[in-house]
Structure 1
Amino acid sequence: MTRTTPITIGVFAPALTLDPAAAPGETAEAARLAEKLGFESLWTSDLLTGRCPMLDPLLVLGGAAAATTRLRIGTAALVPALHPLPGLAQRLATLQYMADGRLLVGVDAGDSPWARWRGGLKDPAAWRATGIPFEERDARLDEALSRLPGALSGEPGQLDPAQTDLRLTVPAEAPPLLIGGENEAALERAVRYGDHWFPALASPAWLTERITRLRERAEDIGRPMPGVTVAQPFGLGGVERPGGPDLTRTAANAFGISKERAEAMVFDGSPEQAAERIVEFAEAGADRIVFSTYDPGWRKQYELLAEAVELLP
C-alpha cells in the first residue's frame, strides 16, 4: 500500500513508563524493536525527579544509538538551562558523532505539561538542587539556543564568548532543534531557532489554532515555517489507564490543560482507531508524533502502534 499521510512516528523509551521495575537492558531492547517495527525515532526526557524512573537522557540515547543503525534518537525535552553550555555541547557532539548524525534535540524551558506531570522541573526544589533559579530559565534557554549550533560545529567564541580561541576539537554537524513550549515566547523561539515546534499533549483542534499562530509569527519576521512534532500518550488494545474511568479529568488536572484538550489528546482503542486519530493530527499540521505509553507491556504497545501505522493511507 502506498502511504500518503505525511507524518513520521517515534516512541519514548520504556524507562519513562510508570513501571519502576524496568530492567536496565530494556532501553537497548526497545531501540532494537522500534527500529525493527519501522518507527522513525526513539526518545527520552530530561528530568531530575518524577513519578517514574528518571535516567540521564544522553546516556540513555547513547545506549540506544549503539544498539541500532537507522533509528533516530531524540530528547523530549532537554532543559539547557540546567546544563553549562561547554559540557552540554561536548556531550551532544559526542552523541551526534556516536550516532552517526541521527540525533534530534528537543528542548524547552523546563515548564512544559510533561514536566508538570513528571514531577517536575517546575518544582522550585528541583531547580534549587541544581543551584539555578527557576526565574532564569527563559534567558538561559535563549542564550543556549543562540550559541549551541555554533558551539557544536566548532565555531570559535561560542563555548565561551570571552575565549574566542576555545572550540570543540571534535565538532559535529548541528542536529535539528525542536523547540518545546506553548506560549508566545515558545513560538518565537521555534521560528527563530528551531527546525520544529514541539508541543506536548495536543488535540487536533488546539494544534490547528496554534499552528496558525506559528505561521503568522514566521511570516511577521520573515522566517521559514518550522515543522511540527507533538508528543502524545497512547495505550492500545483495551489497556486499563491510570486514573480510572474519568481519565479526562485526571489528565486535565495532572497536566494543567483544559478538559476538552485532555479528552482529545489520548490515543486508545484499536489500531484502526489509532490510525484514524493519526490522520487527524496529520491533517491538523503535525509532521511527527512521538508516542509514550504508561503500560509495562510496552513491547505489545509498540507492536499495536506499528499496526496502526501500517493502516495509514
Structure 2
Amino acid sequence: MDIGITLPGHGHDIVAYAQHAEGLGLESLWHGDHLIPVNPYLDSTLVHATAAAVTTRIKLGFGVMVVALRQPAWTAKQIATLQHLSADRVLLGVGSGGEAHGEAAWHAVDVPFAERGRRTDAVLEVLPGLVRGERVPLHGHEIALSPGATMPPVLVGGGGKAALRRAARFGDHWYPAFVPHRAVVSGLGQLGRLAAEYGRPRPGVTVGVGVALGDVPASVIDARIKGMTDYGLPAEQAREVLVTGTPAQAAERFAELAEAGADRVIAMPFTEDRFRQAELVAAAGVAVMDQLGGQRGGDKSAWRPAWR
C-alpha cells in the first residue's frame, strides 16, 4: 500500500513541506483544485510546478482537478508541462466539482453547473491524446500540442454512481474520500461490473482520509466533524471515517482499507502541526507495511523515517 499526504492549501511553507514529506519517504503529495472552493487554496498547477522544482522522487497528485472548469487544450498543455517538469511524477485526480462548493465558479467561467458531469466526460475523452501530442479533433478542427508528454494515471474522484461509471470508463484508479471500508468493498464490486461493460480491467483504488494523529484536543476533532457535515457528510459517518490516535492505530485503519481493496491512502491532516502530522503519517506507513508484509505493493525500503 502506498501512503500519500495533502499539501497545505496555501501559505509560504509549501516548499518546505513538500521537501519534508519527500524526506520522510511518503509516496505522493496532493493538492485540491477549484476556482472558488469552500476553503481557500492556491492554484493546483502552480503549486505542483513549485513542488516539482524542489523535489526529485515524490509523486504529485491532483485531489482532484475540476477539468470542466477549464478549456481542454489548456488543461492538456498544463498537464504535459508538469510531466516534463517533474519527470513523469503526476497523478491526475479528476472530478466534476462537488455541490458543496456552490455554483459561483461555474458562473465565473460561463459553464452551466448542470452540465459539469457531461463536460467532464467530454474532456476525459480527448485529454490523453492531447497530452501525448497526438492530432485530436476539438471544436471542429484537428489540433496537436507539442511537446507531447506521457499521459499520467487518471484517478476519478467521487463515491456516487456517476463517479464509479466514470472511473470504470476512463480511470486507472477510483478515488473516493471520507468513506468507511465497507463502502470501498461495495464500490469495488460495482466498479468491477462496470469496467467489464467497457471491456477494461477494474481500476485500482485510492482512498482519501482525514487524519489527526497524536494528542489532539476533542474540540479540534468536533470542529472538523462539523465542517464535514457542512460539506454534506452525515455526522455519524464523519466521525467514523476520521483517523485519530497513534501511528499504530492509524496503521490498523489503513490496513483495513487495504484489506477492503485500497492500493493507496491519502492522508489529509487538518490540525495546525502539519509537519508533525506528516511524520506521524509516515510512521503509520512503516507500521502498515509491517502488518501487510509488503504484499500489496510498495517497497518497504523506500520508507525513510528521518525523524528517528
TM over 0.5: yes
- Point out the more displaced range, 268-277 or 179-188: 179-188
Contact 1:241 1:247 in 2 (8 A): no
Change (3 A) 1:247 1:69: closer
Match runs of 1:25-174 below 5 Å: 26-111=13-98, 116=100, 120=101, 123-158=102-137, 160=138, 162-164=140-142, 166-174=143-151
- Point out the more displaced range, 178-187 or 93-102: 178-187
Change (3 A) 1:247 1:226: same
One-letter amino acid matched to 2:150: E
**Partner of residue 294, structure 2:** none
User: Partners in 2 of 1:66 and 1:80 — Cα distance?
Assistant: 24
User: Partners in 2 of 1:131 and 1:288 — Cα distance?
Assistant: 35
Match of 2:264 among 288, 306, 309: 288
> Post-superposition shift, 1:206?
1.6
User: Partners in 1 of 2:271 and 2:228 — Cα distance?
Assistant: 20
Give the gaps of 5 or more residues in structure 1. 1-6, 16-21
What number of residue pairs does the alignment pair up? 289
**Partner of residue 18, structure 1:** none
Change (3 A) 1:89 1:33: same
**Partner of residue 9, structure 1:** 3
Give the share of equivalent positions with the same residue, in percent. Answer: 38
User: Partners in 1 of 2:64 and 2:221 — Cα distance?
Assistant: 28
Contact 2:195 2:202 in 1 (8 A): yes
Contact 2:5 2:26 in 1 (8 A): yes
Match runs of 1:234-253 below 5 Å: 234-240=211-217, 245=222, 250=226, 253=229
> Post-superposition shift, 1:244?
5.8
**Partner of residue 195, structure 1:** 172
One-letter amino acid matched to 2:231: F
Give the gaps of 5 or more residues in structure 2. 292-308
One-letter amino acid matched to 1:35: E
Matched, 1:23 2:23: no
Match of 1:279 among 255, 265, 283: 255
> Post-superposition shift, 1:209?
1.3
SS at match of 1:311: helix
SS at match of 2:108: helix
Give CA-to-partner distance per residue, 1:96-115, whole Å, 9 cap, x none.
1100000010001001xxx7
For the aligned residues, what is the CA RMSD? 1.8
User: Partners in 2 of 1:39 and 1:238 — Cα distance?
Assistant: 22
SS at match of 2:55: coil
**Partner of residue 311, structure 1:** 287
SS at match of 2:30: strand
Contact 1:235 1:241 in 2 (8 A): no
User: Partners in 1 of 2:160 and 2:40 — Cα distance?
Assistant: 28
One-letter amino acid matched to 1:301: Q
> Post-superposition shift, 1:157?
2.1
User: Partners in 2 of 1:246 and 1:302 — Cα distance?
Assistant: 21
User: Partners in 1 of 2:275 and 2:213 — Cα distance?
Assistant: 12
User: Partners in 2 of 1:95 and 1:153 — Cα distance?
Assistant: 13
User: Partners in 1 of 2:208 and 2:230 — Cα distance?
Assistant: 16
SS at match of 1:132: coil
User: Partners in 2 of 1:190 and 1:242 — Cα distance?
Assistant: 37
SS at match of 1:14: coil
Give CA-to-partner distance per residue, 1:114-143, whole Å, 9 cap, x none.
x72xxx1xx122221221110110111011
Contact 2:24 2:282 in 1 (8 A): yes
User: Partners in 1 of 2:29 and 2:19 — Cα distance?
Assistant: 10
Contact 1:43 1:76 in 2 (8 A): yes
Match of 2:183 among 206, 210, 217: 206
Matched, 1:175 2:152: yes
One-letter amino acid matched to 1:202: V
Give CA-to-partner distance per residue, 1:81-107, whole Å, 9 cap, x none.
000011111111101110000001000
Contact 1:32 1:67 in 2 (8 A): yes
One-letter amino acid matched to 1:23: G
